[in-house]
Amino acid sequence: MPSPIISVLELEARLRSGEPVRLLDVRWRLDQPEGRPDYLDGHLPGAVYVDLDRELAERSDPRRGRHPLPPRERLQAAAQRWGISQGQPVVVYDDLQSVAAARAWWVLGRSGIADVRVLDGGLRAWLAERLPIETGDVQPRRGDVVLTEIDTGFVGIDEVEDWAWDRGVLLDVRGADRYRGEAEPLDPVAGHIPGAVNLPTAVHLHAGRFRSPDEIRQQFAAAGVSADVQVAAYCGSGIAATHTALAGALAGIDVTVYPGSWSQWSRSRGRQVATGDSPALEVAPL
């Protein structure tokens, strides 16, 4: 299996050789979800802008969470607009810790694109090597890629409820303050799913790039994840959880994603909430 990430120098060499890699710029973050203005100001040559909110998610019923998975037909239409052709390699990147890029990697990979990778270090690593960028919009010729329905690698709210007790390890990959219930800037209730263990996805990075597979395996092991244990991950709205899935792929660990994540759980009546450092401390119903 090829690595799910690619270095700046390897990507530059592939582009210089004329390999038809489709580059996708997936700039998005919680405090600045619209990344197009920054994209227009400068991006990797030939990169096409991807709108995470509108193209990598389905914004419909809030009870499904803030970033539910997009339907196949709409995602396929978007991928064709990005210029992806059948069998074409794809490299995705962003400008902040590869979290948004991981969402694109996970969604496209689970939709049948065999060769999709994340640029390790993203735009900042590209600029650090003093490689060229271009400005303005890129409108490629429409691609002909055909995607499949995402039907593996994720769980729904009912299945995740019993995951930590009956199936394996459930990871909450948000920051520790949100896990403990000390802060919740976006969702109606603070805390975490009972039984979940906190492993912030940022620990898998060093200076904006992924740590070695051995280091990542050690971090997973500290959270109770071993080779014979099933593991699922959730975050605020299903974005950062895919970053943990990417880290897991680097380390040879299969991580199932709960796309609805805390944004769905905290809006669902009858679910319980835990607060504090313990996976099940101070459990209360919603």
- Residues with a catalytic annotation lie at 235
Cα separation, 105 vs 36, whole angstroms: 19
Can you tell me which residue has the tokens 């119903």?
285
Residue type at position 260: G
| d(C-alpha 231, C-alpha 255), whole Å | 5
| AA identity, residue 152 | T
Structure tokens given for 277: 């450092």
Give the residues across from 198 on adjacent strands: 172
CB neighbour burial string for 233-254, b if at least 16 within 10 angstroms, e if fewer: bbbbbbbbbbbbbbbbbbbebe
Cβ count within 10 A of residue 63: 13
Dist CA 60 CA 226 (whole Å): 37
240 neighbors 173 (Cβ within 8 angstroms): yes
Helix (H) or strand (E) segment spanning residue 249: helix 240-251
Tokens of 148: 């499949």
Which residue, chain included where needed, has tokens 């492993």?
Answer: 199
256 three-state secondary structure: strand
Residue 46 burial (10 A CB sphere; 0-12, 13-18, 19+): middle
